[in-house]
Amino acid sequence: MDTEGNILMEKYELGRLLGQGTFAKVYYARNLVTGQSVAIKVIDKEKVSRVGLVDQIKREISIMKLVRHPNILQLYEVMATKSKIYFALEYAKGGELFDKVANGKLKEQTARKYFHQLINAVDFCHSRGVYHRDLKPENLLLDENENLKVSDFGLSALAESKRQDGLLHTTCGTPAYVAPEVITRKGYDGDKADVWSCGVILYVLLAGYLPFHDSNLVEMYRKIGRSEFKFPSWVQPEARKLLLKILDPNPVKRITIPKIKENSWFKKGSISEEQNLDRASGSSTTSTDHAEDQELSRPPNMNAFDIISLSPGFDLTALFEEPQQKKEARFTIWKPASVIISKLEEIGKRVRMNVSKREPGLLKLEAMREGRKGTLSIDAEIFELTPSFHMVEVKKTNGDTLEYQKVVNEGLRPGLQDIIWNWQGDEQEQQGLLPQQDQ
């Protein structure tokens, strides 16, 4: 059993039902250890498997782990049994933004505040290669401090979902908020489609009703395609100009997020993204340059959920299908990140690969010459478990698998032998990534 009375996994005390859909219910809950309020999303595994939504659920988990931001609803952990999947999510006490506009328009200053937070969250998603594709007030929640939280990434797409033409092709979203190019089914840029939806949301916040609405769906799509809408008298000229640029039916001419952030109406009373992040994290803006540099150079931190999710025994995939072979190697080291980076750079030179730093904790190794299946490219990502204990994940991003295995077996493993604590053991050996020898 996954629950005993109203206790889930001996960790969460379940409370009232917050909402429900066809495949899931959401409950208020309290963490028995910390006392923290959370929302528990309960998904019926049999139902989602029956209608083919397994991949969508797994994608939602992957995406929510990618997008950690003050204005995005946080996924704390995922738990699963044979019949249910449980998401432990940040609890948005303020409910849906939809409830605020259901009674009419918001004050311009309030609308601008929510629009700021929405744009910052969407911009962050796009920087991680994530496109939401279903932005609407019902999916925008508010916390106890009235700060916006983007939620429901069930229809989101990752950058790798694009076809060879560089465009997304799945028609999805809520009709009144969907961009005209999505309706035409000819392919679309996820970022431009999200910007359009943000524009519809801004219009709703300022006007109190939808810009495109008709009881006849075909007629509504015609209005969207031509961007036929009118402003109520109270919407100010500056806001109108911005909305006209966002709701341009031609995605090529549509304003981009960087340009939105430069807009005079948007910038009124705004705080920088850096200040917003500082406020959300409780950090001080008076830190020394040295401390800031140190923070920027640190590899990403892994929480307990991240660590557990990497273990084959806790892989959610096993609940739905036979586990497939992975193409990454992991190992742990009791050394600071700087030592690990120096070692990887040294090994890179030894195996004739160029080593470059892409972002904190991520190194890219690229072969100096092209192989049988293109240039071998390897990502080595360092995750901090404690300041002196790190996990490193090495995976092939391009090139021949046999060449990659040779680098791992003949370069990385012997090269790290003097500082390594443990490889991910037998699983890697069974996959042929590591030679059969004592750890």
Q: Tell me the mean pLDDT in the region 213-228.
A: 89
Would strands 24-31 and 389-398 be described as parallel, antiparallel, or unpaired? unpaired
Angle at which helices 190-207 and 237-246 pack, to 10 degrees? 150
- Cα-Cα end-to-end distance for the chain: 38
Same fold, 3-90 and 95-281: no
Architecture of domain 3-90: 2-Layer Sandwich (3.30)
pLDDT at position 401, please?
Answer: 87
Q: What is the DSSP letter of 180?
A: H
Q: Which residue, chain included where needed, has tokens 């040779």?
A: 406
Measured CA to CA in angstroms, residue 166 lies from 184, 187, 255 at distances of: 16, 9, 19
Measured CA to CA in angstroms, residue 290 lies from 24, 295, 296, 362 at distances of: 47, 9, 10, 21
CA 185, distance to chain mean position in Å, is 25
Are 157 and 63 within 8 A, CB to CB?
no
pLDDT in tens, 331-383: 888 788 888 888 899 999 989 899 988 777 788 899 888 877 788 999 888 88
pLDDT at position 399, please?
Answer: 87
Measured distance CA(72)–CA(279) in Å, rounded: 15
Closest CA to 134 of 220, 196, 217: 196
Confidence of residue 147 (pLDDT cuts 50, 70, 90): very high
Residue 349 neighbours by CB under 8 Å, 6+ apart: 355
pLDDT at position 130, please?
Answer: 81
Single-letter amino acid code for the residue at 4: E
pLDDT at position 415, please?
Answer: 86
Q: Tell me the mean pLDDT in the region 109-114.
A: 96
For residues 187 and 12, the model is more confident at 12
pLDDT in tens, 162-205: 334 343 334 444 788 988 888 876 777 888 989 999 999 999 99
pLDDT at position 423, please?
Answer: 67
Q: Kindly provide the residue ranges of all beta strands, DSSP E only, lying in 101-259, ordered along the sequence.
A: 130-131, 140-142, 148-150, 157-158
> Catalytic: which of 134, 191, 194, 248?
134
The domain 95-281 having CATH identifier 3.90.1310.10: the answer here is no
Q: Is 134 a catalytic residue?
A: yes
pLDDT value at 73 more than 80? yes
Are 172 and 134 within 8 A, CB to CB?
yes
Q: Tell me the mean pLDDT in the region 109-129.
A: 92
Grouping H, G, I as helix, E, B as strand and the rest as coil, residue 439 is coil
pLDDT at position 298, please?
Answer: 58
Are 353 and 368 within 8 A, CB to CB?
yes
Are 142 and 149 within 8 A, CB to CB?
yes
Q: Which residue, chain included where needed, has tokens 């911009």?
A: 123
Measured distance CA(415)–CA(333) in Å, rounded: 13
Are 327 and 407 within 8 A, CB to CB?
no
> Mean of the per-residue pLDDT values for the chain?
78
Measured distance CA(402)–CA(423) in Å, rounded: 19
Q: What does CATH list as the number for 304-430? A: 3.30.310.80
Domain residue ranges of the chain, discontinuous segments joined by +: 3-90, 95-281, 304-430
Q: What is the DSSP letter of 139?
A: G
11: tokens are: 């960790």
Q: What angle do CA 68, 307, 128 make, to 5 degrees?
A: 30
CB atoms within 10 A of CB 176: 17
Single-letter amino acid code for the residue at 416: L
pLDDT value at 270 more than 80? no
Are 422 and 439 within 8 A, CB to CB?
yes
Q: Tell me the mean pLDDT in the region 128-153.
A: 86
Confidence of residue 65 (pLDDT cuts 50, 70, 90): confident
pLDDT at position 386, please?
Answer: 67
CB atoms within 10 A of CB 225: 15
